[in-house]
Structure 1
């Protein structure tokens, strides 16, 4: 999840070569002289080092009612770099050409990016046994990171923190949100959790799998025969998950993607209106097989930039570490958790009174709106009936303002945004709408 084009795949996909024998890991940091950027490593466990990068907004203002927020962005995969995809290819202040991005979410909040789970991007382990095997372990690592960042970043204690995750990063945001909320309650983490934001998130794999046949039939990409076969496979996915057979469910899900690819004419599972990027077959290939071909690593690729001018700027990346967009070692280590749902974690967050926001791109298939609506209806939260009974409000965020950009429904601490014309990555597909949406979610005092 989260890979957007064959060209990007060729340029970005190499296995991360994790250097062994790097010596005793240390917590180190650096930054710009004006203090607007800081970055560093935190050794969250022995031989496990997470890389983070903080940006302070130049538009930072606060009011007593609306303190300036901070967003911690969590990328998907699992195994995709937040520094690469989230920062330079998504919402950060510079794009992949190192030119100012407009809009950037830095206009609404301070931003923290992390290469997570450990082993992704600039983050590294000194022994592959230190890779996380479960979402809970990944969440514990992020909680430890935040404990260190509270000491490193003076603004963090007074700034409400929002965990924002995309795709599998949304699942990690939910699990991490619970871990953070518990740490705050226990008094071991001194921050304010402003909310958890789930963007086109992999919260309930069976609900998404069951949605594929009906969605693709409605948009004329599967015929009745293919729909029947796809339904049977999706039902098998659900049954295997019910019985705790998550590895088997993963294999069936990949087979379902292959069937969809063959019968739909290579539909793009990240945006069913755009067929010239990632097909189902490419996606299933990415998540099941290591790549042996070397990627183009020139200076003008994202890999070339992050291993060149950006690495030189940072000055703390170990010589043994080569940044890569995706770590298949990290994905493989988490395979047994890939199909496990996180609905209970969302329910727990709601029960704590934590603000939970769901946003969905209309054109996404892999984490479809139908699937997300299905798992939301399965929540045990006491306010669910009232939430579902409310009408949606249309959004008119961007010029021309007579056009509807999406819809929102809110009740107490649950909020749902439907973003029209967007696929799997709302900030990339609809940057203007996404900017105003996130400003509303985090209650930014910026105009």
Structure 2
């Protein structure tokens, strides 16, 4: 082979090679960004496998998990949208076939992200947003080819609450010239936007589906009202405590109904629940154990990491307990009125923890400039391949989706509907 042919072959190889071999199929990359002293955030990029000449022809989508303290690289990746499931079987409806996916373990202390001391953990949504912006800037330094690529944020549960302030922070920094970021839209999937409205609807939701009787309804409602009383009094940490106690009441009177999909088959429990529930955390202990073994075994080894995945997750949640029950509706109004960012709200009809009635009430309480038009917007069917997968309302750059046959983890429960919603966000 001549020297010229060797050069051409090498160039062709380099032209299609974007990252490195990580864990599982496809090219990937991963690294840490020190977002503050003693605070280190981990990102894991999956380059799209779409049939394109260059991966930058497809958008970059950040996936943010809930909790706070649930890992995007674990739950979002293997339980929902990555190329492999928890049993390492190929996922047919992986988002990686459509877009470049950037999983970020956020806030610091979540998943493979870590802090050197608990004093470096975040205590507010704004701190979380600032850290994520620093992480993204560090990512862009490593992959400048994505700097001008359209960016979207897909978020679930508490991740959606975080995503509202993150989007505002990124947009602000771009407008001020502090950071160049091409943010186009954000999807808030079963998101903890108006926590107290979700909690107040637990009793009627369970009563209406036959999961509790009047006695159970009254017990749950009393817990919800105690949560509201603490919140109204500005006792935010106590409101979080009462939220948790109300969940225990539900596990007692409903005999361990699944918080994230009320149709899930789980073992009944005659006594009080003992497994603490947190938004965005999978409640199937078997799947949890599989995921922990996977992340602290083969994945950790393949990525050459020396951090114990999930070791600080409980600390992440506890440190944010003061902020946990606070609403983000005012910042949603700001996001809709003061930015060009598209906003989706997505709700799964079988989700209890962030129930559809509470989410709908939350949207109807928004006070952005076009909110007065919302009640007159028709609700249309969300049709995929001739099947009604849910419903949608669209008003300018704002939209809401009700998803049939889905609970808290919509991408896992109804991937066809979620991919249609994703395409709507991307405008594709």
Which whole-Å deviations, capped at 9, do the CAs of 1:137-183 have from their partners, x for residues lacking one? 11110011111122222332222111111111111111211111111
SS of the residue corresponding to residue 359 of structure 2 reads: helix
CA distance in 2, matches of 1:155, 1:369: 39
Aligned to 1:192: 182
| Residue pairs, 1:384-403, within 5 angstroms | 384-398=371-385, 401=386, 403=387
Q: Which residue of 2 aligns with 1:309?
A: 298
Q: Which residue of 2 aligns with 1:103?
A: 93
Q: 2:212 maps to which residue?
A: 222
Counterpart in the other structure of 1:438:
422
**Kindly tell me: are residues 88 and 229 of structure 1, through their superposed partners in 2, closer, same or farther at Cα, counting changes over 3 Å?**
closer
| SS of equivalent to 1:285 | coil
**Which residue does the alignment assign to 1:32?**
20
**Matched-pair contact (CA < 8 Å) for 2:48–2:58:** no
Who is 1:49 aligned against? 40
- Secondary structure of 2:384's counterpart equals coil
> Partners of 1:391 and 1:42 in 2: how far apart?
45
Who is 2:353 aligned against? Answer: 366
Task: State the match for 2:223 in structure 1.
Answer: 233
Matches within 5 A, 1:222-261: 222-261=212-251
419-428 or 434-443: which moved more? 434-443
Structure 2 counterpart of 1:322, from 285, 302, 308: 308
Aligned to 2:407: 423
Q: Which moved more, 1:419-428 or 1:131-140?
A: 131-140
In structure 1, C-alpha distance between the alignment counterparts of 2:189 and 2:90, rounded to whole Å: 24
Specify the alignment match of 1:336 in structure 2.
Answer: 322
Quick check: 1:354–1:413 contact (8 Å CA) kept in 2? yes
- The 3 A distance-change label for structure 1 pair 377 and 221 is same
Contact 1:80 1:120 in 2 (8 A): yes
Distance 2:302 2:268 in 1: 32
Q: Secondary structure at the match of 2:323?
A: helix
Corresponding residue to 1:355 among 342, 359, 367: 342
Q: Compared with structure 1, are the counterparts of its residues 419 and 62 closer, same or farther at alpha carbon in structure 2 (3 Å cutoff)?
A: farther
CA contact (8 A) 1:108 1:438 kept: no
CA distance in 1, matches of 2:331, 2:230: 21
| Structure 2 CA distance for partners of 1:395 and 1:268, relative to 1, 3 Å | same
Q: Which moved more, 1:267-276 or 1:420-429?
A: 267-276
User: Which shows bigger deviation, 235-244 or 185-194?
Assistant: 235-244
- C-alpha deviations, 1:96-134, integer Å up to 9, x for none? 233321110112211000111111121111112111122
Q: Which residue of 2 aligns with 1:20?
A: none
1:5 is matched with none
Which residue of structure 2 aligns with residue 345 of structure 1? 331
CA distance in 1 between partners of 2:129 and 2:143 (Å): 20
Change (3 A) 1:384 1:86: same
Asked if residue 124 in structure 1 is aligned to residue 114 in structure 2, the reply is yes
Name 1:267's counterpart in structure 2: 257
CA apart distance, 1:207: 0.5
Larger RCO (alpha carbons 8 Å, 6+ apart):
1
1: CA distance, partners of 2:299 / 2:418: 26
- 2: CA distance, partners of 1:391 / 1:46: 50
TM-score, normalised to structure 2, is 0.87
User: Partner of 1:6 in structure 2?
Assistant: none
* TM-score (norm. length: structure 1): 0.83
Kindly indicate whether the alpha-carbon contact (under 8 Å) linking 2:45 and 2:103 is maintained by their aligned counterparts in 1.
Answer: yes
Alpha-carbon offset, residue 277 of structure 1: 6.9
Size of the aligned set, in residue pairs, is 400
Residue from 144, 162, 168 that aligns with 1:172? 162
Aligned counterparts of 2:94 and 2:103: Cα–Cα separation in 1:
13
Partner Cα distance (1:86, 1:202) in 2: 17
Give the C-alpha shift of residue 58 in structure 1.
2.1
Gaps of 5+ in 1: 1-29, 289-294
